[in-house]
C-alpha cells in the first residue's frame, strides 16, 4: 500500500543530491546568517569571539608545557641528582622549575574549563536570542504576505521548513564559532609541527580528504530527503494534532477514527524512517572506511616520529609533543572538514529560511495613498469584477457589477459557491480582482492605504477564530490597540448580547476561554459566535460585514442578533450574509447571487413579487418550517 498522500505503488525517490557547485554555493547563506547574529547582540557576539580565541590557543600552549615538563623530568633523571627524602628535594630548589611548569599546566587546565563554561553560556544566550528575534521576524514577514500565499500548499511547505530552521539552525551559531576556534588551534598546532616535521601535515591532509568529500555527499543527500518529504512531515504534524486534540477528540471518538489515524501515522512515519535509514546506513558504512584510512595515516606518522626519536633527532618531550600534536591536529582537521561539509549542509537548510523571507506580497499600499473618506459618501462599486482563486479552473465571480451604497444594509443571498464570501474578501482587499475594478467613492481600492482600508472594515467570517485568550481580550482583538479600554469592550459585548454569556463565567471578562490552557472554560458554538460578533462592534468601523457568523444560533436567536445589528448599525454601511431569509429580509436591499454573477436585486417584498430565484429559495425554506 502506497504511503498516504502519494499516488502509485512506490514512493518516488527523493531528488538527487545537489551538485558540488550548488552545495558550495549554499555557503552564500552564511554571511546573512552572521549578520543576523551580529544584529541580535553585538556584545554577546564579541564576547563569544574573544573567549573562543583564548580557548583556541590553550591546547597547543598546554601541550607544549607538557613537553617542557617531560624534558625537565628527563633532565633531572639524567643529571644523577639524588635526595634522601621528599623534603630535601623541595628544600634543595632542584624542583623549582618543575613545580613552576606543573603550576602553569594546572592554571591552564582550570582556565580551559572556565573558558569552556563561559563559551557555552554565551552560546546558549546568543542562540536563544537569535531564535526569538528570527521567530519575530518570521511572524512579521508572514503577516505581510497575501491571503493567497497562505492558501497555497507549496508556500505552506516553505513556511513549515522556515519555521523548523528558526530553531533547528540556532545550533549553527555554535558550530560556526567553534570552527573558527578550531581554525586558530589548527594553525597553532601546524606551526609547531612545521618547526619539527612539515611532511606530517601533508600526510594528514591526504588521509582526511576522502572523509571530507564523503560527508559533503551524505549531507546533501540528507537535505534532499528532508526537502522532498516536507508535505508528509506536515501531514504527520496534522495527524498528531487531530489524533490528540481537544478540538477533535469528540468527533474522533464518536466516529471511531483513532485506529484509522494511528494506522495512517504509523504507515507514513515508517516510510519516512525507511528513507532516512537508507542514508544513515550508507553514511555509517562509508564513514567507517574513511575513519580507518585516517587511523592508518596517524599510526604511520607515529611510527616515523618514534623512529626519528630513537635515531636521536627528537627528545622524549619532542616525541610526546609531536605525537600528541599530530593526534590532536588529525582530530581537529577531521572535525573541521566534517564540520565544513556539515556547514555546507546546514547552509542548504538556511536557504529554506532565507528563501521564505524573499517571498514578497503582491497586494500592497501605493506610494502616495489616498486618505480614506470619512464619512463614506458614495459607497463601494463593483465594475465588471472577475476573480479566480489561484490554481482554480472555475471563476469564483465574473462580470460582477453592483453598488454597495453608503449607509445601507445589503444582504448577499445565494447557494454555496455562489461567490458571497469571495465578495467580502475582495471588498477587504484580501484579494485583488483579476478583471474589472472595485471603487470606493469613485476611486479604486488600490489607491488607498491597505492597513487604513482594512482598519475601516469590520469583518466577522463564518469560520471566525476562537482565540484561547481571556474573554475581554477575545473581544478586544476587533480593535487590539484599544484592548485596555474596558468601557469599549463592555459596550461591544452588550451590543452583541455577549455580555450575558460573560457574566456567567467565573472570572467574567478575565476568564480564560478554551480548554488549551489550565483553568480555561469552553463555550458553546452560539456563545462563541456572540463573542466573535462583539469584535465587529469593538472595531467601530464605518463598514461592517457579517459573513454567516451566526450559523450555530437557532433561528430566533439569530433574528434577535441581526435585528439588534440593524438598529445599532444605523448610519453605517453593512453587509449581511445568511441562509435564513427571516434574517436577510430586514436588509435594505438583497443581492441574489448565482454562479458568481448577480441574478436579482431588490428588497424582500420586491424579490418575492418578481417570482424569480429568490422567491423559489424562500418558498423552499419556508416549506421546511410548515
pLDDT tens per residue across span 358-396:
888 888 888 899 999 988 899 999 999 999 988 788 899
pLDDT of 209 strictly over 70: no
- CA 321 – CA 325 distance, rounded (Å): 6
pLDDT of 344 strictly over 70: no
Q: Tell me which of 240 and 26 has the higher pLDDT.
A: 240
Instruction: Identify the pLDDT of residue 215.
Output: 65
CB neighbour list of residue 610: distance below 8 Å, 6 or more residues apart: 600, 602
Instruction: Identify the pLDDT of residue 14.
Output: 39
pLDDT of 16 strictly over 70: no
- CA 117 – CA 128 distance, rounded (Å): 17
Q: For residue 20, what are the CA distances in angstroms to 217, 221, 280, 341, 583? A: 8, 12, 20, 11, 66
Which stretch of 304-308, 522-526, 554-558, 601-605 has the lowest confidence by average pLDDT? Answer: 554-558
Q: Where does the chain hold its CATH 3.40.50.300 domain(s)?
A: 406-433+444-456+542-626, 466-540
pLDDT of 85 strictly over 70: no
- CA 326 – CA 61 distance, rounded (Å): 15
- CA 371 – CA 449 distance, rounded (Å): 7
Q: How confident is the model at residue 4 (pLDDT cuts 50, 70, 90)?
A: very low
Mean pLDDT in the chain?
Answer: 79
For the segment 143-184, what is each residue's pLDDT rounded down to a tens digit?
788 877 777 777 777 777 777 766 655 567 777 888 788 778
- CA 286 – CA 293 distance, rounded (Å): 11
For the domain covering 406-433+444-456+542-626, report its CATH number. Answer: 3.40.50.300
Instruction: Identify the pLDDT of residue 169.
Output: 58
Instruction: Identify the pLDDT of residue 162.
Output: 74
Instruction: Identify the pLDDT of residue 191.
Output: 75
pLDDT of 3 strictly over 50: no
Q: Characterize 53-84 residue by residue with b for buried, 16 or more Cβ atoms within 10 angstroms of its Cβ, and e for exposed.
A: eebbebbbebbbbbbbbbbbeeeeeeeeeeee
Instruction: Identify the pLDDT of residue 591.
Output: 93
Instruction: Identify the pLDDT of residue 455.
Output: 87
Q: Where does the chain hold its CATH 1.20.1560.10 domain(s)?
A: 31-357
Which CATH number is 31-357's, of 2.60.130.10, 1.20.1560.10, 1.10.3720.10, 3.40.1390.10? 1.20.1560.10
- CA 5 – CA 406 distance, rounded (Å): 48
Which of the listed ranges 30-34, 149-153, 426-430, 517-521 does the model predict with the highest average pLDDT? 426-430
Question: Quick one: average pLDDT of 30-49?
Answer: 88
Q: For residue 308, what are the CA distances in angstroms to 74, 197, 213, 507, 616? A: 18, 10, 33, 84, 105
Residue 59: all three cell numbers together: 591546547
* N- to C-terminal Cα separation, the chain: 51
pLDDT of 15 strictly over 60: no
Q: How confident is the model at residue 307 (pLDDT cuts 50, 70, 90)?
A: confident
pLDDT of 281 strictly over 90: no
Instruction: Identify the pLDDT of residue 170.
Output: 58
Q: Tell me which of 153 and 612 has the higher pLDDT.
A: 612
Instruction: Identify the pLDDT of residue 1.
Output: 34
Instruction: Identify the pLDDT of residue 590.
Output: 93
- CA 505 – CA 501 distance, rounded (Å): 7
For the segment 535-553, what is each residue's pLDDT rounded down to a tens digit?
888 888 889 888 876 666 6
Question: Quick one: average pLDDT of 561-575?
Answer: 75
> CB–CB of 413/590 below 8 Å?
yes
Which of the listed ranges 5-9, 76-80, 132-136 does the model predict with the highest average pLDDT? 132-136
Which stretch of 18-22, 113-117, 381-385, 598-602 has the lowest confidence by average pLDDT? Answer: 18-22
Question: Quick one: average pLDDT of 58-62?
Answer: 85
pLDDT of 465 strictly over 90: no
Instruction: Identify the pLDDT of residue 2.
Output: 35
Instruction: Identify the pLDDT of residue 555.
Output: 66
pLDDT of 521 strictly over 80: yes
Instruction: Identify the pLDDT of residue 214.
Output: 66
Question: Quick one: average pLDDT of 486-497?
Answer: 91
Instruction: Identify the pLDDT of residue 426.
Output: 93
The single residue listed with the C-alpha cell 616520529 is 305
For the domain covering 466-540, report its CATH number. Answer: 3.40.50.300
Amino acid at each position: 500500500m502506497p504511503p498516504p498522500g502519494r499516488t502509485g505503488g512506490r514512493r518516488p525517490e527523493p531528488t538527487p543530491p545537489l551538485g558540488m557547485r550548488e552545495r558550495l554555493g549554499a555557503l552564500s547563506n552564511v554571511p546573512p546568517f552572521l549578520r543576523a547574529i551580529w544584529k541580535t547582540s553585538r556584545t554577546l557576539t564579541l564576547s563569544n569571539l574573544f573567549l573562543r580565541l583564548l580557548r583556541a590557543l590553550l591546547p597547543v600552549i598546554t601541550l607544549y608545557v607538557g613537553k617542557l615538563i617531560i624534558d625537565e623530568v628527563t633532565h633531572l633523571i639524567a643529571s644523577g641528582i639524588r635526595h634522601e627524602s621528599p623534603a630535601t628535594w623541595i628544600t634543595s630548589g632542584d624542583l623549582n622549575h618543575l613545580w613552576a611548569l606543573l603550576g602553569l599546566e594546572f592554571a591552564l587546565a582550570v582556565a580551559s574549563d572556565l573558558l569552556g563554561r563561559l563559551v557555552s553560556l554565551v552560546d546558549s544566550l546568543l542562540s536563544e536570542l537569535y531564535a526569538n528575534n528570527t521567530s519575530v521576524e518570521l511572524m512579521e514577514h508572514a503577516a505581510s504576505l497575501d491571503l493567497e500565499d497562505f492558501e497555497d500548499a507549496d508556500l505552506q511547505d516553505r513556511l513549515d521548513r522556515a519555521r523548523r530552521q528558526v530553531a533547528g539552525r540556532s545550533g549553527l551559531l555554535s558550530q560556526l564559532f567553534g570552527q573558527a576556534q578550531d581554525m586558530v588551534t589548527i594553525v597553532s598546532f601546524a606551526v609547531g609541527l612545521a618547526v619539527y616535521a612539515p611532511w606530517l601535515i601533508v600526510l594528514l591532509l591526504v588521509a582526511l580528504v576522502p572523509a571530507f568529500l564523503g560527508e559533503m555527499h551524505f549531507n546533501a543527500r540528507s537535505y534532499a530527503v528532508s526537502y522532498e518529504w516536507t508535505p508528509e512531515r506536515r501531514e504527520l504534524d496534522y495527524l498528531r494534532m487531530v489524533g490528540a486534540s481537544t478540538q477533535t477528540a469528540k468527533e474522533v471518538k464518536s466516529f471511531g477514527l483513532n485506529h484509522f489515524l494511528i494506522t495512517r501515522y504509523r504507515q507514513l512515519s515508517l516510510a519516512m524512517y525507511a528513507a532516512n535509514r537508507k542514508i544513515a546506513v550508507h553514511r555509517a558504512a562509508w564513514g567507517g572506511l574513511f575513519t580507518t584510512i585516517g587511523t592508518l595515516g596517524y599510526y604511520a606518522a607515529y611510527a616515523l616520529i618514534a623512529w626519528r626519536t630513537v635515531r636521536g633527532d627528537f627528545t622524549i618531550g619532542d616525541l610526546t609533543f609531536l605525537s600528541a600534536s599530530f593526534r590532536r591536529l588529525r582530530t581537529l582537521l577531521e572535525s573541521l572538514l566534517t564540520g565544513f561539509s556539515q556547514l555546507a549542509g546546514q547552509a542548504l537548510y538556511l536557504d529554506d529560511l532565507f528563501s521564505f523571507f524573499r517571498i514578497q506580497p503582491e497586494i500592497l499600499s501605493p506610494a502616495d495613498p489616498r486618505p480614506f473618506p470619512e464619512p463614506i459618501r458614495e459607497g463601494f462599486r463593483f465594475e465588471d469584477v472577475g476573480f479566480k482563486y489561484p490554481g482554480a479552473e472555475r471563476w469564483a465571480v465574473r462580470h460582477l457589477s453592483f453598488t454597495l451604497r453608503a449607509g445601507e444594509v445589503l444582504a448577499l443571498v445565494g447557494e454555496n459557491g455562489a461567490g458571497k464570501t469571495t465578495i467580502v474578501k475582495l471588498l477587504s482587499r484580501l484579494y485583488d480582482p483579476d478583471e474589472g475594478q472595485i471603487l470606493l467613492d469613485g476611486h479604486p481600492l488600490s489607491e488607498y492605504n491597505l492597513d487604513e482600508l482594512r482598519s475601516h472594515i469590520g469583518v466577522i467570517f463564518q469560520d471566525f477564530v476562537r482565540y484561547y485568550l481571556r474573554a475581554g481580550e477575545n473581544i478586544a482583538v476587533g480593535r487590539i490597540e484599544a484592548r485596555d479600554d474596558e468601557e469599549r469592550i463592555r459596550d461591544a459585548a452588550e451590543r452583541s448580547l455577549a455580555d450575558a454569556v460573560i457574566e456567567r463565567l467565573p472570572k467574567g471578562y478575565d476568564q480564560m476561554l478554551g480548554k488549551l490552557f489550565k483553568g480555561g472554560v469552553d463555550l458553546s458554538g452560539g456563545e462563541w459566535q456572540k463573542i466573535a460578533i462583539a469584535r465587529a462592534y469593538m472595531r467601530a468601523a464605518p463598514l461592517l460585514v457579517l459573513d454567516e457568523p451566526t450559523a450555530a444560533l437557532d433561528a430566533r436567536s439569530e433574528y434577535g442578533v441581526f435585528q439588534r445589528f440593524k438598529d445599532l448599525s444605523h448610519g453605517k454601511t453593512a453587509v449581511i450574509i445568511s441562509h435564513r431569509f427571516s434574517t436577510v429580509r430586514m436588509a435594505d436591499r438583497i443581492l441574489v447571487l448565482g454562479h458568481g454573477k448577480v441574478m436579482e436585486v431588490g428588497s424582500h417584498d420586491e424579490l418575492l413579487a418578481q417570482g424569480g430565484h429568490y422567491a423559489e429559495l424562500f418558498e423552499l425554506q419556508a416549506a421546511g418550517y410548515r
